[in-house]
Amino acid sequence: MKAVVVGAGVLGAGLARALARSGWRVTLVEQYDPGDARRASTSRSRLVRVAHGSDVAQTRSALESRRLWRQLERDTGAALYSEVGMAWFAPADDPSWEEDSRRTLEGECVPVEQLSPGDARRLFPELVDDDLDHVLLEPHAGVIRADAAVRALLEDAAAHGAELLRGCATPSGSEVKVGSVRLGADRIVWACGAWAQKLFPELVRGTVIQQDVLYLTVPPAWATPAVPAWGAYAEAVTGAGDFGGDGFKIGLDVAGPPADLERRDRNPVLEHEARARQYLARRFPCLASAPRRAVESCQTVLLDPLLPEPDLLLGGEVRLVRHPEREFVWLLGDGSGHAFKHAPTIAASVRDVLVA
Ligand SMILES: Cc1cc2nc3c(=O)[nH]c(=O)nc-3n(C[C@H](O)[C@H](O)[C@H](O)COP(=O)(O)OP(=O)(O)OC[C@H]3O[C@@H](n4cnc5c(N)ncnc54)[C@H](O)[C@@H]3O)c2cc1C
């Protein structure tokens, strides 16, 4: 069987590898160089958690993906995943997401600890806990080297025969057009991230917004893994200590301005940094004025809620949609902004759908 996959972000690269390892002849088309800042998968690190509230399907997807990320490390020899733990700050006024997560994790036999705020103080050099009910610790959660992980997927795909073609693809009848080259295949998958709606405006609609992750220069006591990754679900803020010299990480999952998909050097949104520092002033006050080391400006797609249901909803709320006029053509994409961790399970599920 022959497949063309367009887009070598974590979803396209993961799928190309899964198909190549299953004996398919795969061509993976990508418009940019590896590590280009315009793709959503480009980052120093992404957080890998299993907790998903009461959602058992997402919990299982994240758990299986973590196993598969470790398998990728064994297959390629690349060091990608660091099990630094993740602490969730459960607010006193509504700790329900963390309570649901604990019950679901326990039901799936995933180790998890419920710490009193006082006990959680040992995890951080400083922690203001007067608004917390408890802290939920996922000891096996962690951070993954995102750029290295995508590279490892690509290298393993190539080692199993996948061909990487550099260029900008467009749909052309039942083929994929890349410059003067036309590619036909038994299955075509467009895994084009935020670019999908330009290519298939009739099937994908949404707003592409910019989101920034801030890295701060902090004292050595804030280094991860001594300091775990952390998150406040209700406030949509996550981060980690200084991992490998990247700097202390903080990102807010908030609606930013429209992202310019053509620009590699986007201007960070000043309000994002101000809100991140406001959060630090409450939780880790000694870091509120720490010097900025770097900012990663990335994009997320807020999908139009009126879009029809996808054919399959995968981990990270990633959608798999079959083209209504060409049954061997599929669109694979993310409408949630937390798909990185789920990518290996998504790849295996989509491969099975394509085979079927
Ligand atoms: C600020 C931020 C923080 C995040 N943090 C986390 C986290 O901690 N944990 C987590 O699990 N997830 C996280 N995510 C989400 C995660 O990064 C994304 O869900 C994931 O990277 C999406 O991957 P993708 O392959 O769909 O998209 P992309 O990485 O954008 O890949 C799409 C690719 O398609 C290519 N392409 C598009 N059109 C064409 C064309 N016509 N021809 C050729 N190539 C084309 C693009 O160049 C690009 O390389 C975060 C996202 C953001 C924005």
Max CA pair span of the chain: 64
- Cα(256)–Cα(236) distance, integer angstroms: 13
Q: What is the pLDDT at residue 337?
A: 83
Q: What is the pLDDT at residue 164?
A: 97
Q: What is the pLDDT at residue 240?
A: 98
Q: What is the pLDDT at residue 336?
A: 73
Give distance in angstroms: CA of 44 to centre of ligand 1: 13
Q: What is the pLDDT at residue 334?
A: 82
172-199 as b/e: b if 16+ CB within 10 A:
eeebbbbeeeebebebbbbbbbbbbbeb
- Cα(143)–Cα(89) distance, integer angstroms: 18
Ligand 1 pocket check for 197: Cβ under 6 Å: no
Q: What is the pLDDT at residue 136?
A: 98
Specify the residue for token string 């280094």.
223
Ligand 1 pocket check for 58: Cβ under 6 Å: no
Nearest residue by C-alpha to atom 51 in ligand 1: 337
List Cα–Cα distances, 74 to 80, 85, 153, 243, 296, in angstroms: 10, 21, 12, 22, 29
Ligand 1 pocket check for 50: Cβ under 6 Å: no
What atom of ligand 1 comes closest to residue 251's alpha carbon?
A: 1
Q: What is the mean pLDDT of the chain?
A: 96
Name residues of the chain where pLDDT drops below 70: none
Ligand 1 pocket check for 300: Cβ under 6 Å: yes
pTM of the model: 0.97
Give distance in angstroms: CA of 92 to centre of ligand 1: 34
